[in-house]
Amino acid sequence: MTKTHETWILVADDDRAHRDMLRANLEHAGYSVMEVTNGSEAVKCVKTQHPDLVLTDMRMPEMDGLTAVREIRKIDERVPILIMTAYGTIENAVQTVKAGAYDYILKPLDMSVLLNTIKTGLEKRSEPETQSKLASDDYIAESPAMKDIFALAEKVARSEASVLLTGESGTGKEVLANFIQQKSARSGKPFVKVNCAALHDQLLESELFGHEKGAFTGAVAQRKGRFELADTGTIFLDEIGDMALETQAKILRALQQGTFERLGGTQTIKTDCRVIAATNKDLEAAVAAGRFREDLYYRLSVVPMRIPPLRERREDIPALANYFMEKHSEKNRKHMKRIAQEAMDRLVAYDWPGNVRELSNCIERAVILSLGDDITLESLPNNIKKTSSAPEGDLNIMEQAERSAILTALRSCGGNKSLAAEKLGINRKTLATKMQRYNISEE
Ligand SMILES: Nc1ncnc2c1ncn2[C@@H]1O[C@H](COP(=O)(O)OP(=O)(O)OP(=O)(O)O)[C@@H](O)[C@H]1O
Ligand SMILES: [Mg+2]
């Protein structure tokens, strides 16, 4: 096989008849075709022949499509890979797109769809890499609750106070910690994150405070700890829920006196760092049960901030969903434009036990699964699809969200309508109309 200026497509499929059919159609459309019968041959072929595009079956002997995509990506970052999959293995197809395929196509193949998708893949390859439009530190706050939280966070950021972030898993504690650090006077200084739940006792202490050579088996060289690295900056103690009491005592001293020793060391080291801590555990209960030191709790929670679960601030869902649609479209080189209304209704109605993280995953999956411009109801997972979006009373979900936003705003402004309207970003007259419509009384 020698390559010329022609466009070469590598077809990987174990089914002979299917390969013949593809070859005939692709050659008819003006492409040159090379064939292999399994994934490992496909990988070898990419390495030696550099095809312009890879069209591979999902299920093959020796090496399946997913593994093949991963292996191909290791040797060639750019070659477009298109997966052929049967409906029953669609979830696997999603995995292959996450692994680096640019799209998948359903079997039985529709030739015009296949040729179009191949064309898109080849075009994408010649596009220059575009810079991401979305900064990684973007955040969404539409609900009054989240607006209040970010407003408070901005004020607190300027102080040196320790902040304790609580909230269920996936609510955005780390997002908020990043925000506070960025808005603080220490923003240009080190920002050191420690996941306290990932390590236990000795390893955690060594991570936090460092160790001298020979401090314990495996301590083959001296190592600086996170408190030392965070000096003059900020330390983020994530998932502080369950730590040994002894470790807690050392942390307290490091925060209160700004001093500690490395494990196995005698020299006292000084550190000046601001602390932000986070947990999804009920720390007050842990204090009551004697599992968390009360003094450390008070030292950490000078400013406590609780991020409500997503189901308590449904007004954020549409904005978050659209934000994730854009973000994941860009990442997966798709061009999704909107979320169909019936899909959005379900998203707003669903309870999101995994909070914003679950919403993000759900939208990523939908972006990958959707074939047109829209995220449709069909592309949502079954449990969400089945969520009843028939609300109590006559209001639809969006209206319910709006009603609850108005109530919250009025409550937080002591019933002052001008203030509440300002907070909601609508004028006073609109607020009055909406209050009437939603049957909200003046007091
Ligand atoms: N307000 C927001 N705007 C945009 N993205 C958000 C927002 N809140 C959360 N996310 C996204 O949701 C995901 C989960 O957020 P994050 O990691 O901050 O949650 P967490 O509370 O720290 O969760 P865990 O307790 O599981 O560690 C991340 O991908 C994050 O970028
Ligand atoms: Mg987190």
DSSP string, 324-345: HHHHHHHHTT----EE-HHHHH
In terms of residues, how long is the chain? 443
Nearest CA to ligand 1 atom 16: 172
Lowest-confidence pick of 25-29, 175-179, 250-254, 405-409? 405-409
Task: Report whether pLDDT(371) > 90.
Answer: no
The Cα 163–Cα 174 span in angstroms is: 12
Lowest-confidence pick of 161-170, 195-204, 224-233, 400-409? 400-409
The pLDDT tens digits for 147-197 are 999 999 999 999 999 999 999 999 999 999 999 999 999 999 999 999 998
Whether the pTM exceeds 0.75: the reply is no
What is 397-437's CATH number? 1.10.10.60
What is 8-126's CATH number? 3.40.50.2300
Which pLDDT band, with edges at 50, 70 and 90, does 134 fall under?
very low
Ligand 1 lined by 173 (C-beta under 6 Å): yes
The Cα 271–Cα 267 span in angstroms is: 13
Find the mean pLDDT for residues 389-407.
68
Task: Report whether pLDDT(303) > 70.
Answer: yes
Ligand 1 lined by 233 (C-beta under 6 Å): no
DSSP string, 309-322: PGGG-TTHHHHHHH
What is the 3-state secondary structure of 142-181? CCHHHHHHHHHHHHHHCCCCCEEEECCCCCCHHHHHHHHH
What is the CA(357)–ligand 2 centre distance, in A? Answer: 10
Taking the CA of residue 307 as reference, the ligand 1 atom at the shortest distance is 21
Mean pLDDT, the chain, rounded, equals 88
Ligand 1 lined by 167 (C-beta under 6 Å): yes
Bridge partners of 55? 11, 82
Beta strands 268-270; 259-261: pairing state = antiparallel
Domains of the chain, residue spans: 8-126, 144-306, 311-385, 397-437
Instruction: Check for a shared fold between 144-306 and 311-385.
Output: no
Ligand 1 lined by 178 (C-beta under 6 Å): no
Q: Which one of 175, 182, 305 would you pick to mutate in the ligand 1 pocket, going by the greatest count of ligand atoms within 8 A of its CB? A: 175
Residue 304: DSSP 8-state: E
Taking the CA of residue 178 as reference, the ligand 1 atom at the shortest distance is 18
- Ligand that lies nearest to the alpha carbon of residue 310, given by its number in the listed order: 1
Which pLDDT band, with edges at 50, 70 and 90, does 135 fall under?
very low
**Class of the CATH domain delimited by 311-385:** mainly alpha
Ligand 1 lined by 195 (C-beta under 6 Å): no
The Cα 75–Cα 95 span in angstroms is: 19
Which pLDDT score is estimated for 4? 52
Q: Which CATH architecture has domain 144-306?
A: 3-Layer(aba) Sandwich (3.40)
Task: Report whether pLDDT(214) > 80.
Answer: yes
The answer to whether 384 touches 362, Cβ cutoff 8 Å, is: yes
The three-state secondary structure class of 191 is strand
What is the CA(96)–ligand 2 centre distance, in A? Answer: 27
Ligand 1 lined by 166 (C-beta under 6 Å): no
Ligand 1 lined by 309 (C-beta under 6 Å): no
Residue 429: DSSP 8-state: H
Which pLDDT score is estimated for 137? 57
What is the 3-state secondary structure of 197-214? CCCCHHHHHHHHHEECCC
